[in-house]
Amino acid sequence: MQLKGVAAAPGLVMGPCYVLEEVNHPDFTRHSISESFVDEEKGKVHIALNIASEQLTAIRDRAEAAGLEEQAAVMDAHLMMLGDPILTEGFMSMIASEKLPGVGAVQKGIAAQADIFEALEDAYFRERAQDIRDIGRRLVNILLGIQEADLSALPKQLILIARDITPSMMASVDTKNLLGIVAEIGGKTSHTAILANNMSIPAVLGCHDIVNVARAQGVDALIAIDGSTGTVHLGLTDEQAATLKTESERRQAVKASLSVLKDQATMTKDGVHVQLAANVMGPGDVEKVLAVGGEGVGLYRTEFLFMDRDKAPDEEEQYHAYKTMVEGLGGKPVIIRTMDIGGDKSVDYLNIEKEENPFLGYRALRICLERDDLFLTQLRAILRAAVHGQALVMFPMVCSLDELRAAKAKVEQAKEQLKLRGEKYDESIKVGIMIEIPSAAVIADVLIKEADFFSIGSNDLTQYTLAVDRMNERISYLYNSFHPAMLRLIKSVIDPARQAGGQKFAGMCGEMAGDPRATIVLLGLGLQEFSVGPAGLLRIRKIINSVDFSFAQAVAAKALTLGTATEIESYLAEILPEDLRAYLV
């Protein structure tokens, strides 16, 4: 049996499936029991405390054995809190005196304890509120017989299935044991997909009904997912499993064969060099970029530094993160994008009101231009980090020249502040913009006069040009970066940047840049920089190094005359040299 979803991150893997249940606990704090049940409810809580302690110890031991010290320490802290008599005796007395059922007593006791932590001045103790809530969730799950999922320490190698796998779940998941992911929500350029790509984890998203279907297969059923085609294979026969295994090994071999390109330049056969850089999420990705011979970082998505926490990182924390990245790249250019919060990347502490259309709403630069506290802090950190190598700053979601000017004025203001503080910073940092809103693409000739570079954000540019929400699986069949309107817009962005000459350039950091089906046409359109997930970087180099620029130009010219995305895709599939077809998956 096969289910189809969106091919969100390439790779073919097979393994036991693990369905993550969505848990919404009912509130039991208003329920009451009669006196005769008090002892029984106390007993249940005692048992739950013991089970929770066993679970935490097991997770701690696994983390320790895997060398994940930080995670082991967190589990130790949870164990300590769980053993705190103030907490546990509190549960018991609420059962006895308030006649709460065990689960209600746990909910009330945990909420009270978390509130105490939250009210404290010290940030460290405030963060403990989250830990205590985590413990509470675990206890309630046990009391209600709900299986607890701990993504940071998966019990074994598995394929994770859930209705929704959020970007923050991906950021904290145990990557060693995560073979692949399948979710009902999300599209090709949702941030879950982007993270999966960066982490080299095969992913199928937007897979309708996968939770029910996988559940029906039973616990630990063997499934396979092909993130290159968006297929989930269930109920495998031995024969099917063997065929998929052979195919997976073949793909591994193709991938391994690319490693010889690691130290080569990215240059067409007729000698045209393009910059092949990598997309990263944080300093932890430096190794991955260097391992594949990335020529720089074309997109550092700094917003991940702002996620999954209680308040924004201060200037020092950001400075250290950016400095580590810039130093790690040893003088190669690092394009640091200012935070792009909003859309599917939420940050609770910014208290952004829920919007009907978050992708068209209060997002990215729109927030930054109103929030000096966030923007100037980030700009100062970037300017300081730039001293340690080569950093460029880039603004997301620019829709007008006014916005570009306003953002550049903030860069100047940040420089002034640093000058007054007597800090070292990069006075002549290059300032570029993402071209991801059609209005910016249309006035690219105007914008390039005041920007040092462009990076085309094809993910958003596709959704805004085609009016297709990049997260909505109902209409994902319409989301296609090969639409003729996209090719024309891309050309209208590249042309003025090339004409401007000097050191100005047009690059692309959206997922299209890493799509091997698009490489030749983008090259032919004159794209000067490709920035792609590190895992897929070498196959792009392979394609560029295998063709002539003149051939790519002819391909682009012909593609621009075609009227539909399907015609363009078929044409590009047809002209792709035979020996390069193996690199499409």
> Which residues are tagged catalytic?
191, 509
Give the nearest distance from C-beta 197 to ligand PEP in angstroms.
11
**What's the CA gap between 227 and 387, in Å, rounded?**
40
Q: Does 510 bind ligand PEP (CB under 6 A)?
A: yes
**What's the CA gap between 95 and 102, in Å, rounded?**
6
Q: Does 303 bind Mg ion (CB under 5 A)?
A: no
168 binds, among ligand PEP, Mg ion, none (CB under 5 to 8 A by kind): none
Which pairs count as long-range contacts for 308-315, CB under 8 Å and 24+ apart, including other chains? 308/168, 308/171, 308/172, 309/349, 310/123, 310/126, 310/127, 310/130, 310/349, 311/123, 311/349, 312/349, 312/350, 312/373, 312/374, 312/377, 314/377, 315/377, 315/380, 315/381
Question: Nearest CA to 508 among 305, 200, 275?
Answer: 275
344 binds, among ligand PEP, Mg ion, none (CB under 5 to 8 A by kind): none
CB atoms within 10 A of CB 50: 12
Handedness of CA 326, 328, 331, 336 (dihedral sign): negative
CB within 8 Å of 152: residues ≥ 6 apart:
59, 63, 71, 172, 173, 174
x-or-dash string of contact with ligand PEP, 295-324, rule CB under 6 A: ----x-x-----------------------
User: Could you give the maximum distance between any two Cα atoms of the chain, in Å?
Assistant: 87
Give the nearest distance from C-beta 231 to ligand PEP in angstroms.
24
Q: Which CB atom, from 20 or from 508, has the smaller least distance to Mg ion?
A: 508
CB 224 within 8 A of CB 14: yes
Give the nearest distance from C-beta 345 to ligand PEP in angstroms.
8
Which single residue is written with the structure tokens 């990705």?
285
Q: Which CB atom, from 376 or from 513, has the smaller least distance to ligand PEP?
A: 513
State which of positions 417-436 bind ligand PEP (CB under 6 A).
436
Tokens of 167: 């970007």
State which of positions 446-505 bind Mg ion (CB under 5 A).
457, 460
Give the nearest distance from C-beta 282 to Mg ion in angstroms.
17
CB 263 within 8 A of CB 293: yes
509 binds, among Mg ion, ligand PEP, none (CB under 5 to 8 A by kind): ligand PEP
- CA 493 distance to own-chain centroid: 26
Total chain residues near ligand PEP (CB under 6 A) = 12
Beta bridge partners of 508: 456, 530
Q: Does 432 bind Mg ion (CB under 5 A)?
A: no
Options 340, 403, 452, 529; binder of ligand PEP; rule CB under 6 A: 340
Q: Which CB atom, from 426 or from 452, has the smaller least distance to ligand PEP?
A: 452
510 binds, among ligand PEP, Mg ion, none (CB under 5 to 8 A by kind): ligand PEP
Q: Which CB atom, from 63 or from 203, has the smaller least distance to ligand PEP?
A: 203
H helix and E strand count, the chain = 22, 16
CB atoms within 10 A of CB 51: 16
Question: Nearest CA to 476 among 95, 7, 28, 119?
Answer: 7
Give the nearest distance from C-beta 398 to Mg ion in angstroms.
11
506 three-class SS: strand
Span of 34-42, 418-426, 456-464, 552-560 interacting with ligand PEP by CB under 6 A: 456-464
Q: Which CB atom, from 141 or from 190, has the smaller least distance to Mg ion?
A: 190
State which of positions 133-192 bind ligand PEP (CB under 6 A).
189
Span of 46-54, 282-290, 457-465, 538-546 interacting with ligand PEP by CB under 6 A: 457-465
207 binds, among Mg ion, ligand PEP, none (CB under 5 to 8 A by kind): none
Q: Does 458 bind ligand PEP (CB under 6 A)?
A: yes
Give the nearest distance from C-beta 8 to Mg ion in angstroms.
16
Q: Which CB atom, from 104 or from 514, has the smaller least distance to ligand PEP?
A: 514
Binding stretches for Mg ion (CB under 5 A): 436, 457, 460
Binding stretches for ligand PEP (CB under 6 A): 189, 194, 299, 301, 340, 436, 457-460, 509-510
